[in-house]
Every structure is written in structure tokens, then in C-alpha cells.
Amino acid sequence: MNKWSRRAFIGAGTVAGGGFLLGVAGFTFAPSRHSLVSADAAAKGQLTTWITITPDNVVNILIPHCEMGQGTPTALAMMAAEELEADWSLVRAQEAPAQDEYANGYIIRAMGGGYVPAMLGRGVDYGAYKAMAWFGLMVTGGSTAVRGTGEWGMRVAGAAAKEMLVAAAAKQWNVPASECVAKGSRVAHAASGKSASYGELARAAATQSVPTSPTLKNPDSFTIRRTSTKRLDIPSKVDGSAMYAIDFTTPGMLYAALAIAPVQGGKLVSVDTTPADAMPGVKKVVKLDEAVAVVADSFWRARRALAALKPEFSDAGHGAVSTASIFAAFDQALGPAPALPKAAAKTLTADYRAPFLAHATMEPMVCTAKVDGDQADVWAGVQDPLNARSVAAKALDLNVDNVRLTNFMLGGGFGRRLPFTFDYVDLGVRVAQAMSPTPVKTIWTRENDIQHDYYRGAAMSRHAGALDANGTPLAAHSNYTGGGNSEAVFMPYQIAEMAAEEKKAAHPIREGQWRSVLNSQHGFFKESFIDEMAHAAGKDPFEFRRSLLGEQPRFKAALEKAAAMSGWGTPLPPGEGRGIAVCDSFGTICAEVVHVAVSPEGQLKVVHVYAAIDCGDVVHLDGATAQAEGGIIFALSAALLSEITIDQGRVVQTNFRDYPMIHIADAPKITTAFIRSEAPLGGMGEPPVPPLAPALCNAIFAATGVRVRELPIKKTPLKRA
Amino acid sequence: MPITLTVNGKAHMLDVEPEMPLLWALRETIGLTGTKFGCGVAACGACTVHLDGRPVRSCVLPLSAAGGKSVTTIEGLAQEGGLSTVQQAWIAHQVPQCGYCQSGMIMAVAALLAETPKPTDADIDAGLTNICRCGTFARVRAAIHEIANSTAEESAS
Ligand code: FES
Ligand code: FES
């Protein structure tokens, strides 16, 4: 434990009104082979936390992660409160202090290095802030929040604060600190009968020396963690008061609608602005390098005027690119199936294909900006405020310290709002610059969103496997395109020969991180192929996997649990089947069994999904369950329906009509179970995604004998033979 | 000619184009941002409000069609005594994740329950076509059933 102390520092001070403030910042190096968000960030993690205790005995926890629907702030607050021995009913997270600049409520303040909230601006060591600014990233993604910030920041801050409160009480009462007990936001000394609230002790606590290595609680004594407290953000999400970037307004603000070059990399060649110029409410048609924007006094008017324009864009030389040309290049790059041992009694090969996918967050991309001289304000919903701010500064050619970014609740993230994919911030600030100093809100339509995403990459994989006469696997090899990493291609099975080799086939479609990243394609590839090997061996797919997991107890336990939950092996009516898959991502093992029913005509119904998850330990039980449910639905929509195709270099799909999502009628029953292991905390936002598609396709095979090797499933007729 | 409509019990006179969709009038002209923009083509339900008690997708409803009528948005769903039963059930079941679809989801469910106080699963499947990218469907269904059951108990007692 105490990994944080290697390169961490803690700062304490008092806040206005006699409270207590504690901050922890630290750099730490990712302890495992798991990458965080990108090649650049792979070796690093960052975290910082702030705790304040005010005289009214309220603990405020300021959280450096955005709320994108995962309950992250609640889970992180629980981790700090647990170590602090706080009374949970007296804990607040990310709620705005009653000061003007916070008055809008529910806004998660961007904690950029140059922007320190006034609340912290008195007598405080700014070290943690500076550290974070140097690092330049403040990411919520890669399932890092709880296992990084929480484990190494929140817990430590909570524990340190508790020790300082105890020290303050001991000093005040002139008793040994070891005789004082902290519990329920109070410190008590049994022998003397003395007791004081944290609020009463806060001012004195702030003057105590900061423990460099506070003791963390034994998990057996957790009272807040592992429970299901109500999430702090939910009340605002049932009455319309939650503030998303699209809801922000500022006096005098105008609205912009965008047409972006339909082929990525294309430029605006020409546009006759006259049809728009005279339309009601239009203030200006702004020509940008790769887009044209109409700025008007309402978004609808801006959009209507934009529709009257016929901008011409170049195609950057990619006008001949299509889905077919990309997959043809994949096919060629993959070459012949990988070679197999000569001694094999039986061999098999299979190709799998996964399409490009859009994130389609429910809230489209939005950026409001006000550029005034050498100063700029930006309001947007991002998974990394610091990187977004630097994108804005670069686009405007301003010093980053002169740019302030305010972050909001996100109407979905899924990887769309991560570093290096802030085109909506880049475009938004350039539109505002053209209207300077008037603030402009640029709203992407759903069409903009679907057609200008950073897509989950298309990929193809060519597998070859060999079995001996007993059906024992001898080799499982694959060549793949579309990128991979050691985590995504890793197979936990004990097979004598295993290799996965990347083959390059470049294409111009821009890609980004999509919930579970490369695991989303590779989970489908590898867990489909192992299933095909099981059937080729004439063995039950669950037993076959289990027999190969002797050296992987976590995988084995998850697999067995999911199978047991689903009643694996019990008979099903004709046309029904179960499929199983197990994947490891972001430190978490997730096994899923999918139960399907397929009508004789080929109508597919997903009946039930069972998930057994080992993420080490669960911080917030109901929140983790919700993440599993959500991840399964997200993956199911993609597996069944989703495909972005390319024609003449452009994305063909435009909106939810041709990029459809499942509805409640298609949603299966979902049963989840968590396995507690000794492993370090794993992520929860992403790991439920990868096993879903293979388990589903394996179930379809069990039900129909049809092997689906290409996603989405709707492309394969499932009519039973 | 200004268009008059009542929103959450309050009369508004709007001097904008009659073809402007109700969604944008609510959000930008009146300033009620609880109703969300998700697709603009009636495909997602994020913009659902009640028009004279019936659910409508406000992103495709021209203001002219709302003139003289009564609109209820998510901000107006709570009653004098506090949150509506649907909103309470949403908190009890911790339904929202990102929450962006939930204004529309709650309005659609409130309308469904007004029409069919004890919906079967088939009624729910047929009556609710809102998209939720966060995948909250299991909780939506559980919350609806709980509301239906507790209203049934009330009327039985
Ligand atoms: S925004 Fe109206 S249905 Fe999607
Ligand atoms: S809660 Fe996020 S889209 Fe439904």
C-alpha cells in the first residue's frame, strides 16, 4: 500500500471562516501493463484531491473527475469519507460553495492550473494544482478514476485528514493521540469523556503537521464502501435542473450551426453566403478552414440559414475510400492464415470483422466560447478539462493561462470527449473568435456528431487453430489489423502455441477511444475463435475454456460463476441457446453468459445476460451494478445494429434513423454478481463491454448452428436450416 | 402574430416564427433547458414534453401546433407537494446515469402511466421508444412496475 508516497505530496491550510483544507497530489506510474488512454499517457497516472471541513461540520470533497453518468464523484467521495471516518450524511461532493462564481450549481469546475477557485485562494499551498498543471491532463477515462484517484488520492487524503483531526483533539485535551477515536465525524476520548466534532476541530487540525504516510483502513472495517449509497448527482437528473454544456447561457450569447467538410481532411473551397445573410436572426456566416458556420440569435435560425447554403469542400484526396476498399486492404494485409504445427489432428481457420462505430453520446458536442482580446472563456463538457483548455489556447494562439474552461456534467462520454479528440472545442472557439467579443454557443446536430466522430476502428482478424486427437488445443494464432495491444489480444488459456500479430493497413478514417477501446474488437475475435475451437473439439464451450484456465484462477472463478448463474448445461427449448465469453480489461475480469431465442424465421431475441465480475473490490455496489447493466446494453446495441460505413470518403450514416439504437423492448434481463478478490481495484465502466458480443454470437451458434463472424449481427441471416 | 401558449401553468407570448420547433422555443426563448435536444428528427425522445397531457416529441412539433395549448415540461412535472411519483421512483431505483435522456424518458413514462396505469411488459415495450445510450432500461422497467403496483395498492385500500 501507500504507493502514492513515492512521488506524492500533501498540503494543508485554512480556508476563510476557519475551516480546514487538505490536498494531495501525486504522480504515480501505472503498475501494470494496462494502458490508460493513449500511447502518450500510458506510463503515467495523475490524481489530486481536496478535502475541506467547515465549522458546521460539513466535509466538502472537490473531485477532479467529471460526472458522465458513472457516479464517479459519489464513489470517490465514499473512498475519502471512509478513511476520514466521516458521517456520510455530512459529506458533500462537487457541490458548489455559496460564492458567486459557483452560484449556478452542479457545475464541475475545471481545476486548471491557472484557474484556482477563490475558495482555495487563501493561505493554501498550491502545490497540488501546479503539479496537475504540469502534467497537463485531467482525464476521466480508461476506467482510472476509482483505481487511481480514489485509491491513491482520496483514501490518502481522508486518512491524513483524520490523523490531523485526532492530533488536534489530543493536543487540545492533553491526552495521547492513540487514545482518541475518530468516528462519525467526531473525535472522542473515552477515559475523559471528551468529544468534539470535526467542524470544531478543523481550525486547529489545519495547523497540525501533515502525516507523510497515513495509515489506511483494513477493508474488513469498511462501513461506507461496499454499500449502495444514493448517488449525489441523481436528484438534479429527475427534475431538469442538471446542467450540461448545451444548457449553459451567458448574456448576449449567439448560436452557431456548422457544416464540416464531409471527407475528413477536406477544406472549404467556396460558399456563397448570400442566401443566409438576409435570413431572420442571422448575424454572420463564418468561413473556417474546414467548415462553415452560421451564427444567429437562435440555434434553429442558424440551422435553417445553414441549410440554405451550398458550401463546396475538397476531399483531401480520399474521395475513393469506401468500407469495401478498407476491408479489401485489411484482407490483403492479413495474408495467409498463420502457420500451424504439423502434428495437428484437426485444424480450423476463421476470419472475423468488426465495423467502425460512432459513440453517439446522447448529448451532442457543444462548445460555448467568448474571446476577448488576449482572454478567452470556454464552456464545454469534456473528459479532460486541461487538455481541452490547451486545445482552445492553441486554436486561438493564446497563452494557456489566459484561457478559462468550465466543465459540466456530460450527457455521455464513452471516450468521445477525451484528449486529442476535442475538435468541437477547437471549432467552437474559432467560431467565437470570429464574433469576438460576443459569446457564441456552437451546437453540433446529431448529423454533425455521427458524421464527424473519432470512430471505434474497423478491424479484421484471421485466426488459425490446431487440436490434437483428444481435442486438446495445440495452437491458436491470429493476424489482425486495426491495432491491438498486449491487453486486448491476451488469451488467458493454457495453449502450447499462441501468437497474435498486427498487420498494418492504413486508411484515412479518424479513430478514437470507444468504451473499452481495443478490447471491444479483440474480445469478439478471440472469444469467438476459442468457441469455434471448442466445438471443433466436440467439447462444451464452458468446460473447454475451464480446462484451459488452470493457471488463471481469477478467470476461472468468473467463468464458473457466470455459468452457474445462468444454469449452464440445463436443457433449453429448440431455437434457444447459451453462449459464454470471458475477457480481461482495465484490471477487471468479466465473464458473461447470454441466453438467446431465435425464431424459425431468424428473429433474434436476447433473453437474459448474466455477468460475473471480478474488479478486485466494489466501492459502490449499486453504481458498479449500473455500470455493468449500462455496459451490456451499450455493447448489445453495437453488436446487433451499429455500423458506420464509408462511401466516397464520407460517412454514410446521419442520425439515429440509420444509426439505430436498441429500445427497451430489445433490452434483456440482466443479472450481475461481483467476485471479491485480492487483486487491485479494476475499472468498471468498460470491462462489461468486451465479452458481450462474443457471448451473444456464441449463443446464436448454440441456438441455430449459424456462426456469426461479422458485426453487426443484423448482417447475417439467422434463419435456421 | 405572436403565438401564445401555456407552459407549466404560465402563459407565454412568443414573437418567433410559427415553424420554429417547440423544443427550441422552450430551451432558448423561454429558457427551460430541462427538455433536451438529442436528434431533431423524432427518433430518440429526449425532447418529450406533454401537450395538453399527451406526449409529443417537441423537436419536430412546430410552435404553431402548440399555440393556445398547454405544455408541461420536466420542470413542471413536480406537484405542489413535491416530486411526482415517477420522479420519486427514479430516485428510489437510481435510474439515471448521464441523465441526458431522462427528462424525456420521465415525461414519456408519466404519459404512459396516465394512459395505462398498470402496464404489462408488452405495454412498456410498445409504448416506450426513447433511446438511452447509457442503457438504463432495466431500471426504467423496474421503476414503472413499482409505480404501477403501489398505485394498485392505494386504490385497493
Ligand atoms: S430530439 Fe426530439 S426525438 Fe430526438
Ligand atoms: S442516462 Fe445517459 S442516455 Fe440515458
- The last residue of a domain, from among A443, A469, A496: A443
Q: What is the pLDDT of residue B46?
A: 98
Is A490 a domain residue?
A: yes
Is A241 a domain residue?
A: no
- The last residue of a domain, from among A410, A443, A476: A443
Residue A86: which CATH number?
Answer: 3.30.365.10
For residues A293 and A213, state if they share a domain: no
Q: Which residue has the cell 459557483?
A: A102
Is A39 a domain residue?
A: yes
Strand order in the sheet with B48-51: B10-14, B3-7, B70-72, B48-51, B54-57
Residue A302: helix, strand or coil by DSSP? helix
List CB contacts (< 8 A) between A363 and chain B: 36, 38, 98, 100
For residues A50 and A127, state if they share a domain: yes
For residues A390 and A529, state if they share a domain: no
* Phi, psi dihedral angles at A630 (to 5 degrees): -65, -40
Residue A520: helix, strand or coil by DSSP? helix
Q: What is the mean pLDDT of chain B?
A: 95
CB contact under 8 A, A630 and B130: no
Q: What is the pLDDT of residue A418?
A: 82
Q: What is the pLDDT of residue A158?
A: 86
Query: What element of type H or E holds A446?
Result: helix A446-451
List all residues 6 or more positions away from A408 whose beta carbon is below 8 Å from its beta carbon. Answer: A107, A108, A243, A244, A245, A247, A248, A379, A380, A381
List CB contacts (< 8 A) between A636 and chain B: 135
* Phi, psi dihedral angles at A245 (to 5 degrees): -60, -35
Is A321 a domain residue?
A: no
B98 → closest Cβ in A364, A412, A636: A412
For residues A226 and A259, state if they share a domain: no
Q: What DSSP line would sit under A589-642, residue for residue?
A: EEEEEEEEEE-TT--EEEEEEEEEEE-SS-SBHHHHHHHHHHHHHHHHHHHHH-
CA nearest to B99, candidates B69, B124, B133: B133
C-alpha distances in Å from residue A394, one per residue of A258, A564, B130: 21, 55, 39
A73 preceded by cis ω (within 30°)?
no
CB contact under 8 A, B138 and A412: no
Query: Is residue B39 less than 8 Å (CB to CB) from chain A?
Result: yes
Number of other residues whose CB lies within 10 A of the CB of residue B148: 19
Cα(A375)–Cα(A398) distance, rounded to whole angstroms? 8
User: What's the number of domains chain A is made of?
Assistant: 3
Residue A151: helix, strand or coil by DSSP? helix
Cα(A117)–Cα(B78) distance, rounded to whole angstroms? 34
List all residues 6 or more positions away from A606 whose beta carbon is below 8 Å from its beta carbon. Answer: A594, A595, A596, A636, A640, A666, A668, A696
Q: What is the dihedral of CA A594, A595, A597, A603, to 10 degrees?
A: -20
Q: Does pTM surpass 0.95?
A: no
CB contact under 8 A, A235 and B128: no
Q: What is the pLDDT of residue A601?
A: 94
Q: Which A residues, 651 through 670, put their C-beta within 8 Å of a C-beta on chain B?
A: 655-657, 661, 663-665, 667, 669-670
Q: What is the pLDDT of residue B110?
A: 98
For residues A481 and A570, state if they share a domain: yes
For residues A417 and A528, state if they share a domain: no
Residue A245 Cα, ligand 2 centroid: separation in angstroms? 15
Cell numbers placing A511: 479513430
CA angle A668, A594, A490 (to 5 degrees): 130
Is A332 a domain residue?
A: no
C-alpha distances in Å from residue A601, one per residue of A576, A640, A710, A720, B122: 13, 17, 20, 7, 21
Is A611 a domain residue?
A: yes
User: Which ligand has the nearest atom to the CA of B101?
Assistant: 2
CA nearest to B67, candidates B149, B148, B6, B157: B6
Q: What is the pLDDT of residue A319?
A: 96
Query: What element of type H or E holds A647?
Result: strand A646-647
For residues A221 and A296, state if they share a domain: no
- Exposed e or buried b for every residue in A355-391, given b needs 16+ CB within 10 A? bbbbbbbbbbbbbbbbbeeeebbbbbbbbbbbbbbbb
Residue A488: helix, strand or coil by DSSP? helix
Domains and CATH numbers, chain B: 3-77 (3.10.20.30), 85-156 (1.10.150.120)
If 0-12 CB within 10 Å is exposed, 13-18 middle and 19+ buried, where does residue A172 land?
Answer: middle
Closest chain B residue to the Cα of A664, Cα to Cα: B137
For residues A550 and A470, state if they share a domain: yes
C-alpha distances in Å from residue A255, one per residue of A431, A439, A487, A574, B49: 10, 9, 44, 57, 23
First-to-last alpha carbon distance for chain A, in angstroms, is 58
pLDDT digits (tens, 9 = 90+) for A395-436: 999 998 899 888 888 999 998 998 789 999 999 999 999 999
Closest chain A residue to the Cα of B19, Cα to Cα: A300
A299 → closest Cβ in B17, B24, B91: B24
For residues A419 and A467, state if they share a domain: no
Closest chain B residue to the Cα of A630, Cα to Cα: B135
Cα(B36)–Cα(A593) distance, rounded to whole angstroms? 35
For residues A485 and A537, state if they share a domain: yes
For residues A164 and A309, state if they share a domain: no
- The last residue of a domain, from among A173, A196, A230: A230
Is A449 a domain residue?
A: no
Cα(A661)–Cα(A706) distance, rounded to whole angstroms? 24
For residue B100 and ligand 1, the question of a CB distance below 6 A is answered with no
Regions of chain A where pLDDT drops below 50 = 1-9, 25-48, 95-143
Mean pLDDT of all residues in B42-48: 98
Q: What is the pLDDT of residue A619?
A: 85
Cα(A656)–Cα(A642) distance, rounded to whole angstroms? 10
For residues A526 and A411, state if they share a domain: no
The answer to whether residue B1 scores a pLDDT higher than 90 is no
The answer to whether residue B155 scores a pLDDT higher than 80 is no
Q: What is the pLDDT of residue A227?
A: 82
Cα(A293)–Cα(A99) distance, rounded to whole angstroms? 36
A559: containing domain: 459-715
CB contact under 8 A, A234 and B140: no
Strand order in the sheet with A194-197: A180-183, A186-189, A194-197
Residue A656 Cα, ligand 1 centroid: separation in angstroms? 10
CB contact under 8 A, B100 and A663: no
Query: Is residue B47 less than 8 Å (CB to CB) from chain A?
Result: no
Is A237 a domain residue?
A: no
